[in-house]
Amino acid sequence: MALPSYTTTGQRIGWYSFLFYCGLVFFFLIAPIFIILPLSFSASPFFEFTREFMNFEPEAWSLRWYRQMVGISSIGDTTVVTDKWMLGTRNSFIIGIAATLLATTLGTVAALGLSRPHMPFKGTIMAILISPMIVPLIITAAGMFFFYSKVGLTHSYLGLILAHTALGTPFVVITVTATLTGFDTNLIRASQSLGADTLRTFFKVIMPLILPGVISGGLFAFITSFDEVVVVMFVGSVEQITIPKQMWAGLRQETSPVILCMATCLVALSIALLTTVELLRRRSERLRGIKLRN
Amino acid sequence: MFKLIKATFLGLIVMAFTSSAYADITFVSWGGAYTASQQKAYIDTYSKGSSITVENYNGGLGEIKAQVEAGNVTWDVVDVLPDQAITGCDEGLFVKVDQSEFINDLVVPPVSDCVVPQIFWAYTAFYDKAAFPGKKPKSMKDFFNVKKFPGKRGIHTWPNALIEMALVADGVKASKVYDVMSTPEGIDRAFAKLDTIKDHVVFWSAGSKPLELVSSGEVVMALAYNGRIGAAILSEGKDFEYIWDGTVLEQEYLVAIKGGNEAEALAFMAHASTAESNAEQAKYIPYGPMRKSSINIIKKGEPWFIKDGGNIDIMPHMPTHPKVLKKAVIADPYWWADNGAEVSERFGAWKGN
Amino acid sequence: MNDVTAGSILTTDGIPLKVSLKKSERRNKIRAFLLVAPLLVFILITFLIPIGDMLVRSVDDSYINTVFPKTFEKYKKWDRQDLPSEELYKTMFFEVKEGSGFSVGKATTRMNYAKSGWKSLLKKSKRKFKKIDEGPYKEQMIAIDKRWADIEYWKALGVMVDPTTAGYYLNAVDLKYDVNKEIVRQKENRRIYNHTWIKTFKVSLLVMFFCLILGYPISYLLSTLPLKYSNLLMICVLLPFWTSLLVRTVAWMVMLQQKGVFNNLLVTAHIIADENRFKLMYNETATIIVMTQILLPFMVLPLYSVMKTISPNYMRAALNLGASPLHAFWKVYMPNSVPGISAGCMLVFILAIGYYITPELVGGKDGQMIGNWIAYHLKTTLNWGLCAALGAILLGVMTVLYWVYNKLVGIENIKLG
């Protein structure tokens, strides 16, 4: 934003120092995420920028940790190379996708109900449905650990999928409800008066309009599950290794730079998801005729 | 649309349940160079048909009790400390084993009926030589002296060995430590000594952490398992130095968890505790075997420790070396089995304050 | 028109319109509710009942009664004045000797909470009882360990006679029952939790404060910049939001450790000497720095969405009327942004007080919060009663805050990106 010509020197200094301050905050937000990218290519077994590494000496740079990540050992490895990272990746996707599908289905249907003008106890129900997002994970994990072990759901994929579904639904409810505000209910009436039944109306009229909201809600649910470690730690067993659990174990047990490699992959994934959600949000706003920001 | 979602979902569920064709035995140990040595010495060489998955933990019976209580045992063989071996066996968490094969070949008698022998190891203080260009710390007294040797200390999150070391640092003779500890005043004295370094400690719970803390300069000295220090010096060429004074010598055992895959676990434990397996392990980490015949195998085989470009004599790095034993406290697992709970509670509170 | 006439209007099938409308409205209500019901039931079973179960556990004290039923039956008749009779000793003897190692072990853990020493006493006794075959038992038990003659141990059992207890809640705030079931403070060196509660609130408040002073200016900038710039900068806010919590924590470990990026830069630039590197890892400072960065997006997003709605004309008007920019900002812009401030602060605070992962990894000894103690008792000490009580108190605090947030902001106004 250009400054008007009548601003005084003092105001200019003020404005530029404000911009500088904001720049620092953005740097604070973003820098740590990118600092790990180069480090994942370092040959050092510790999280450090060695002098050799900074001078781009070839032997200080290595793909060794990436090889370990995919389960290939190289000469000079002092720790056991396992296939756990790949196993974790597979499990994370299985649990994440299953939880997302469940959460999206349940959440979308519930959001349709919540957006109806006749919904009774709307506030209370909404508060209950959002609560899994608000209650600290450690409490959720403790409760689930006690209860799920009683009913035999601990140490199983099913238990984790159910738990992650519960954690993911608030996001779906929020995004789909948001898409439904400003939804023109006349469209439903029009469709029904033209002879479409409820299901047909849902898939042909409602769904295309709320789809962006459903997908971004689903992506939120997915990333929630994909990133979740506390519940996995307490409800899952050794079999249910997921990426975050493996990272957590790595940080607590043997700090291996493989963690940085996986972190780099996850950053790439989050950039992809973020881009998708942003594009969807704009599409949704365009579809609903809400004008873009500014 | 519906069909697609349904099909994907069902597919995933089926995949989740069927594809978990999992290992027959889950072997749980302490990670890092130690687990690596077990892997090379007797997991890779085990060919009885059971596949073995290796897990890491940080000690304690908590997880085991939780599994037994929930009736869902997923750990089969666990590498445990002697006091936990006693307690777990008393409380019926572990399977009783046939000890006839090795009972007469051990340096000390086994602590309970549930164990097969592993190694002697020690809690040992160490530092990076670069951190002390001038005067170097030499004794447990120096470890506890933050005036003479300023800087943070890395210590573990449970009280075993710390109580003993605090008393040694306070002037108690190594051989008299447990007499002092058996009086309430003795415990107070140990905690008073611990108080003097309280504001200078960084806690660790995983065995590879102290090495990292010292390497990264986060602390100037740390307590660690001697084998990890040895492995770092020998295999990674780190410039670390042991402080053998006040070292606490401990035993290590394998147990099988009740309700796990008992038969296969016992078969594997028999393989893991042969004289050959115990000796083999010392090729990769400097821990002292518990079997007399293993020590003989090593002595005959020196240089025993495997390194690229020439093997190294391992005996001088062993915590059971006579030179070390003179300065060491021999841990009393029975004392810890009986009094561990109370001391741990107090230590937990000390840590939190 | 009044009610009487309205009531008389009939629909084509002869039902009064009012009734018909009501009926259709009820039908609509039921239909709406039926749509919500599946999720509601799902959340109830997978989430709310487990939490309820945890609350029950925080007062449950029945296990010990199932291990020593006869002892406790006889115990109730004891006068609590002198040492119990041979009868009670004998009952206890057999229940210890014949009980399974697992259940007695578990019971002694509970007994140790009431009086420290019970565990080692029973452990030792159980091993030695095997050799005793006939009475009188009292003398032999005392011969094994003097503590059997200490009346304090017997009195302490009285705390556990009831199947429910408030003891865990007392422990969670550094109080306890003494052997006579009077509420007393914990011993000086056992007081941990009050101090941790205060620290948890302090850290959360500080994190909230730092998020506000870092988040407010950039939200302002984002809301005033032209779309093409603000969209780009918004990514800087949203990317951390989408990036794994653990990844960000790892990144901060790389940044903050002694030989980390931050200290190295300062040393290379000769700002600090090599031996005076800042201690930024494994302490409370680390917890606060890392949590601030992690929670900052939760401050920026609500602030931004409120600030978008503040018309720039307000500020222009104030400036035209002669106010200095700062004055205009303080008097005009700021009050308009208060809803965003309160929403952001509440959200950050609510999320912060339950944090566990980050303090555990970077907090070291003095950066631990109440969540870490909950995990500690859940996983390490297995003191699940205390774990549940700490969790219940935290949950209570959360619920109040959540309720306030709902009144203030409205749950349905939470925005995600």
Whole-complex ipTM: 0.89
Assigned domain for C265 exists: yes
Answer whether B61's CB lies under 8 Å from B88's CB: yes
CA distance A60 to A49: 10
Query: Is the pLDDT at C414 greater than 70, yes or no?
Result: no
Residue A177, phi then psi, degrees to nearest 5: -60, -40
Residue B60 to residue B87: CA distance in whole angstroms: 11
pLDDT digits (tens, 9 = 90+) for C311-333: 888 888 888 888 888 888 888 89
The strand pair at B77-80 and B25-29 is best described as parallel
For residue C240, what is the enclosing H or E element? helix C227-242
Same domain, C203 and C297: yes
Span B18-120+251-320 CATH architecture: 3-Layer(aba) Sandwich (3.40)
pLDDT tens-digit map of C186-209: 888 788 899 999 999 999 999 999
pLDDT at C368 over 50: yes
pLDDT, residue C109, reads: 82
Same domain for A98 and A237:
yes
Q: Which of C239, C260, C356 sits opposite A230 (nearest CB)?
A: C356
Residue C131 reports pLDDT greater than 90? no
A289 phi and psi, to 5 degrees? 75, 15
Classify residue A277: in a domain, yes or no: yes
Could you give the CA distance from residue A254 to residue B34 in angstroms, rounded to a whole number?
Answer: 11
Nearest Cα to Cα of residue B353 among C362, A139, C198: C198
Same domain? For A100 and A218 the reply is yes
At the second CATH level, the architecture of B123-249+324-352 is 3-Layer(aba) Sandwich (3.40)
Task: Answer yes or no: do C326 and C386 share one domain.
Answer: yes
pLDDT on residue A95: 96
| Model pLDDT, residue A288 | 66
Percent of chain C clearing pLDDT 90 (strictly above) = 41
What's the CA gap between C409 and C404, in Å, rounded?
8
Angle, to 10 degrees, between the axis of helix C101-114 and the axis of helix B62-69? 120
How many residues belong to chain C?
A: 417
Task: Look at residues C137, C157, C190 and tell me which one is the last residue of a structural domain.
Answer: C190
The answer on pLDDT for C6 being more than 80 is: no
- Look at residue A250 and tell me if it is in a domain: yes
Kindly give the parts of chain A with pLDDT less than 70.
Answer: 1-4, 75-80, 254, 287-294
Inside any domain, residue C223: yes
Residues A241, A151 share a domain: yes
How far the first Cα of chain C sits from its last, in Å, is 49
Q: Where are the domains of chain B?
A: 18-120+251-320, 123-249+324-352
What tokens does C180 get? 């006579």
Q: How far is B33 from chain A (nearest CA, A)?
A: 6
For every residue of C131-152, DSSP letters joined together read: T--SS-HHHHHHHH-GGGG-HH
**What is the per-residue pLDDT for C172?**
94
User: C188 Cβ partners below 8 Å, 6+ apart?
Assistant: none
Q: How many domains in chain C?
A: 3
Query: Which of C212, C255, C299, C301 lies closest to A30 in space, CA to CA?
Result: C255
Distance (Å) of CA B229 to CA A234, B214, B263, B329, C265 = 32, 11, 35, 19, 30
Q: Which of C189, C197, C198, C253 to mutate to test the interface with B (most CBs of B within 10 A)?
A: C189
Q: Is residue A15 part of a domain?
A: yes
Rounded Cα distance, A172 and B144, in Å: 55
- Asked which of C157, C190, C223 is the last residue of a domain, the reply is C190
Contact A210, A287 (CB under 8 A): no
Q: Does C226 touch chain A (CB under 8 A)?
A: yes
**Do B18-120+251-320 and B123-249+324-352 agree at the fold level?**
yes
Q: Which domain holds residue C361?
A: 194-413
Q: How far apart are CA B64 and CA B91, in angstroms?
A: 11
Across chain C, what does the average pLDDT equal? 88
Closest CB from A107, A140, A274 relative to C238: A274
Nearest residue to C100 via CA among B213, A186, B91: B91
Measured CA to CA, the distance from residue C113 to residue C169 in angstroms comes to: 13
C182 shares its domain with C199? no
pLDDT at B22: 46
Band of residue C55 on the pLDDT scale cut at 50, 70, 90: very high
End-to-end, the C-alpha distance of chain A in Å comes to 13
Instruction: Based on the fold, state whether residues C35 and C69 are members of the same structural domain.
Output: no
Predicted confidence at residue C165, as pLDDT, reads 92
* Strand B25-29 with C183-185, pairing: unpaired
Model confidence at C352: pLDDT above 90: yes
Domain membership flag for residue A76? no
Closest CA–CA distance from residue A79 to any residue of chain B (Å): 6
Buried b (16+ CB within 10 A) or exposed e, B63-82: bbbbbbebeebbbbbbbbbb
CA-based nearest residue to B226, from B243, B204, B213, B209 = B243
Q: Which residues of C touch A281 (CB under 8 A)?
A: 417
For helices A243-252 and C245-256, the axis angle rounded to 10 degrees is 30
C46·A165 Cβ contact <8 A = yes
User: Smallest Cβ distance to C116: which of B345, B348, B352?
Assistant: B345
Mutate to test the interface with C, among B216, B257, B258 (most CBs of C within 10 A): B216
| pLDDT value at residue B18 | 45
Pairwise pLDDT comparison (B32 vs C175), residue with the higher score: C175
Same domain for C305 and C157? no
Is residue A213 located within the same domain as residue A94? yes
pLDDT for residue C92:
92
Residue that terminates a domain, selected from C140, C161, C190 = C190
- Write down which chains contact chain C via at least 3 CB pairs under 8 A: A, B
The 8-class DSSP code of residue B328 comes to -
B77 touches chain C (CB under 8 A): no
**Residue C73 sits in the same domain as residue C184:** yes
**H or E stretch at B254:** strand B240-256
Query: Please, which residues have CB within 8 angstroms of residue B169's CB and are 6 or more apart in sequence?
Result: B139, B140, B141, B143, B144, B193, B246
**Which pLDDT score, from 0 to 100, does residue A277 have?**
83
- Compute CA A116 distance to the chain's CA centroid, rounded to the nearest angstrom: 29
Unique residue bearing structure tokens 């907090």: C363
Number of domains chain A contains: 2
A78 part of a folded domain: no
CATH of residue C320: 1.10.3720.10
Whether residue A249 is found in the same domain as residue A211: yes
What CA–CA distance (Å, rounded) separates B280 from B298? 8
Query: C185 and C283 share a domain?
Result: no
In a domain, A274, yes or no: yes
Q: Is the CB of residue C265 less than 8 Å from the CB of residue C212?
A: no
Buried b / exposed e over A119-131, threshold 16 CB at 10 Å, is: beebeebbbbbbb
Same domain for A15 and A97?
A: no
Instruction: Kindly give, in sequence order, each residue whose CB lies less than 8 Å from that of residue B265, ignoring residues fewer than 6 positions away.
Output: B25, B76, B77, B95, B256, B257
In the prediction, which pLDDT does C349 show? 94
The answer to whether A254 contacts B208, with C-beta atoms less than 8 Å apart, is yes
**Which of B13, B22, B39 is closest, CB to CB, to A80?**
B39
Q: Is residue C54 part of a domain?
A: no
Chain A contact probe: residue of C39, C238, C361 with most A CBs at under 10 A:
C39
Cβ neighbourhood burial of B44 (10 Å; 0-12, 13-18, 19+): exposed
Q: Which residues in chain B have their CB less than 8 angstroms from residue A203's CB?
A: 1
**C56 within a domain of the structure (yes/no):** no
Distance of alpha carbon B256 from alpha carbon B115, whole angstroms:
8
C13 with C71, same domain?
Answer: no
Q: Which residues contact C252 (CB under 8 A, 6 or more apart)?
A: A32, C286, C289, C290, C293, C362
Radius of gyration of chain C (CA): 31
Closest Cα in chain C, distance from residue A74 (Å): 24
- Going by C-alpha positions, the residue among B180, B202, B206 that lies closest to residue B191 is B180
CATH number of the domain that residue A168 is part of: 1.10.3720.10
d(CA C197, CA A61): 46
Asked if C266 and C272 touch (Cβ cutoff 8 Å), the reply is yes
Q: Which residues of chain B have pLDDT under 50?
A: 17-22
Are C367 and C396 contained in the same domain? Answer: yes
Q: Is residue A1 part of a domain?
A: no
Residue A256 has a pLDDT of 79
C248–chain B Cβ distance below 8 A for any pair:
no
Residue C415 token pair: 């925005």
A64 lies in the same domain as A21: yes
Are A132 and A193 part of one and the same domain?
yes
Chain centroid offset of residue A67 CA: 26
CA distance A254 to C236: 31
Chains in touch with A (3+ beta-carbon pairs under 8 Å) read: B, C
Enumerate residues 6+ apart whose C-beta is below 8 A from B18.
none
Query: Residue C164 pairs with which residues in a beta bridge?
Result: C60
Q: What is the pLDDT of residue C180?
A: 85
Q: Could you give phi then psi for residue B246, rounded to 5 degrees?
A: 75, 10
Whether A119 and A234 map to the same domain: the answer is yes
CA distance C258 to C281: 7
Which chain A residues have a beta carbon less than 8 Å from that of C233? 26
Range of the structural domain that residue A44 is part of: 9-69
Least confident range of A25-34, B246-255, C127-136, C235-244: C127-136
> CB of C275 within 8 Å of any CB in chain A?
no
> Distance between CA atoms of B298 and B173, rounded to whole angstroms?
32
CB distance C278 to B217 below 8 Å: no
The reply to whether residue A143 touches residue C384, judged by beta carbons under 8 angstroms, is: no
B349, B266 Cβ separation under 8 angstroms: no
